Structure 1
């Protein structure tokens, strides 16, 4: 029966540590982005840039141009709340 006097404080200490770790994780924003880690395997982060491949800057420039065109096209889209088709310029 005397072991219970040792085990209860140890159990309370473990619970206090677990609660402290949980609040630390929430405070340090560990739970803000739960989707990034699940899709991170799909992206190749260790692409090595080599000077032997001259097409790489052109591809990156093409992607930037396409993104700029897409942004410009999205700026032209108008959303109508009343359900009528927006007027085109």
Structure 2
């Protein structure tokens, strides 16, 4: 019975903490665009954009000696 005096306030505090974190995430826009990042990976880059990394060497050419 004595453990309930500790567990009930801790559980109420945990519920308020979870609700506060959820409220912050909704207010900060975490759930605004759920599908955009999934589609962005499928889209091609614009023609003017260049890759930051150099293209890999052609594997069909013989190595330079």
Q: Give TM class, smaller chain.
A: 0.5 to 0.7
Q: For structure 1, which runs of at least 5 residues remain unmatched after alignment? A: 51-89
Of the two structures, which has the highest relative contact order with CA contacts closer than 8 Å and spacing of 6 or more? 2
* Structure 2: gaps spanning 5 or more residues: 46-50, 55-65
What SS is found at the alignment partner of 1:42?
coil
| Ranges of 4+ aligned residues in structure 1 off by more than 6 Å | none
Determine which structure has the larger helix proportion and give its number: 1
Corresponding residue number in structure 2 for 1:33: 33
Distance 2:44 2:5 in 1: 54
What RMSD over aligned residues (CA atoms) do the two structures have, in Å?
Answer: 2.6
Instruction: Decide which structure has the larger Cα Rg and report it.
Output: 1
